[in-house]
């Protein structure tokens, strides 16, 4: 008698997850659009006040988060491009295999994926990432960032929430179904 369970192979994708891929695409488009606006409207390193704690300041980041390794001599561009490309492929596979009842985890993965690809596009096409959101308080300045960085950060927070709080509930619910 054939097994009624669907196959769970590496390429078993679920069409309902195209919504999450769509969210990643929205994040990429929003990121690239705002970077284009910043690049065409702002003068490099010239702050434009928005709020008492926020400026639009066009900056180019040749490194990773918070300009990590920005002075490393150029090899970091290829390293971060390769890393982002590899992680993006893995995340697409992971995202497309999510069960329908899970909501926070695919949201987190979709945001991280969209942000990673948004910054990857900059690295490949420009050799640096465009940053323009500059938050500060008095003389304390947070490193400039962009929409992709915001998506990655929010996605990471949601991933941590899912990992530390929601995964345990999913495991307990699955155990109750098998009892």
131 is catalytic: yes
122 is catalytic: no
- Chain centroid to Cα 23, Å, comes to 11
End-to-end CA separation in angstroms for the chain: 25
Of 31, 122, 131, 162, catalytic: 131
**Phi/psi of residue 14, each to 5°?**
-115, 125
Integer-rounded Cα Rg, in Å, for the chain is: 20
Of 31, 46, 122, 149, catalytic: 149
Place of tokens 């991280």: 112
Per the DSSP assignment, residues forming a β-bridge with 134 are 55
Neighbours of 10 (CB within 10 A): 7
For 116, half-sphere exposure in the C-beta direction (CA atoms, 13 angstrom radius) is 21
Left, alpha or beta for 132 (phi > 0: left; psi -120 to 50: alpha)?
Answer: alpha
Active-site amino acid positions: 131, 149
């Amino acid at each position: 008698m054939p097994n009624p369970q669907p196959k769970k192979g590496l390429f078993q994708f679920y069409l309902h997850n195209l919504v999450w891929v769509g969210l990643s695409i929205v994040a990429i488009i929003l990121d690239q659009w705002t970077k284009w606006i910043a690049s065409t409207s702002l003068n490099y390193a010239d702050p434009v006040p928005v709020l008492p704690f926020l400026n639009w300041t066009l900056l180019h980041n040749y490194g990773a988060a918070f300009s990590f390794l920005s002075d490393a001599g150029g090899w970091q561009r290829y390293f971060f491009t390769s890393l982002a490309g590899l992680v993006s492929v893995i995340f697409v596979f992971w995202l497309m295999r999510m069960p329908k009842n899970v909501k926070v985890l695919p949201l987190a993965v979709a945001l991280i994926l969209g942000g990673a690809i948004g910054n990857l596009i900059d690295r490949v096409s420009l050799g640096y990432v465009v940053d323009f959101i500059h938050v500060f308080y008095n003389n304390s300045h947070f490193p400039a960032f962009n929409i992709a960085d915001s998506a990655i950060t929010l996605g990471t927070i949601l991933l941590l929430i899912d990992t530390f709080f929601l995964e345990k509930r999913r495991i307990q619910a699955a155990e109750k179904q098998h009892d």
